[in-house]
Amino acid sequence: MSDKVFLTFDDGPHATITPQLLDLLDQFNISAIFFCIGKHLDENQTLAQDLVKRGHLLGNHSYFHNQFSKQSLPAQITEIKKVNQLIAELAPKQGIIPFRAPQGRWTPLLMLWLIINRIPAIHWSVDSLDSRPLSVDAIEEQLLASVKGGDVVLFHDDGQLCCEVLEGLIPKWQAKGLDFGSLMSLWD
Ligand SMILES: [Zn+2]
């Protein structure tokens, strides 16, 4: 069990929010995984390449972010392969490309396919709730109380709240003795 906290950001990259978030993560020297929607990767390719240059990992979060359980398995696989191809072009040195299902809704058949194809399936252990209409203070308070070493924390970089929360929260987490890791180191 790791004593590190792992930060993950879903649904970007976003043309204006993701660059702010990258500056913030740089300040604290934290590497994260960005589970990108393929459509947004296509629209923000230079930003995605910058993200990789700055030490982060690109993850696959489907192409359209539709509910996978309403699609056939072949349709799910087509989307995953399309986004993996795009990530391989944007980050040729990355190697392994982790996957997170849209809305975190996994099906047994999809899990089986991912295992057979040796694609790491990454869920989260703590949801920051930053996609809900909550205040910065409310989110910060619950994350300060709940997050411990080994947690994988879900944020979204398609909305401003992730930056507003993390700016104040990271120093408070550090003051509690928490440290940050890169999930990549777990399968190196
Ligand atoms: Zn998502």
Is the backbone of residue 163 left (phi > 0), alpha (psi -120 to 50) or beta?
alpha
The DSSP 8-state label assigned to residue 163 in this structure reads: H
pLDDT number for residue 1: 54
Give pLDDT tens digits for 48-83.
999 999 999 999 999 999 999 899 999 999 999 999
At 4, list the tokens.
């590190």
Residue-range domains of the chain with CATH: 4-187 (3.20.20.370)
pLDDT number for residue 187: 65
Contact 105, 69 (CB under 8 A): yes
Going from the first residue of the chain to its last (188 residues), give the mean pLDDT of each consecutive group of 10, the final group possibly shorter: 89 98 98 98 98 97 96 97 98 95 96 97 96 94 96 96 97 96 74
What is the CA(124)–ligand 1 centre distance, in A? Answer: 12
What is the CA(186)–ligand 1 centre distance, in A? Answer: 23
Q: Tell me the catalytic residues.
A: 10, 156
What is the CA(61)–ligand 1 centre distance, in A? Answer: 7
The pTM (predicted TM-score) of the whole model is 0.96
Contact 4, 173 (CB under 8 A): no
The DSSP 8-state label assigned to residue 73 in this structure reads: H
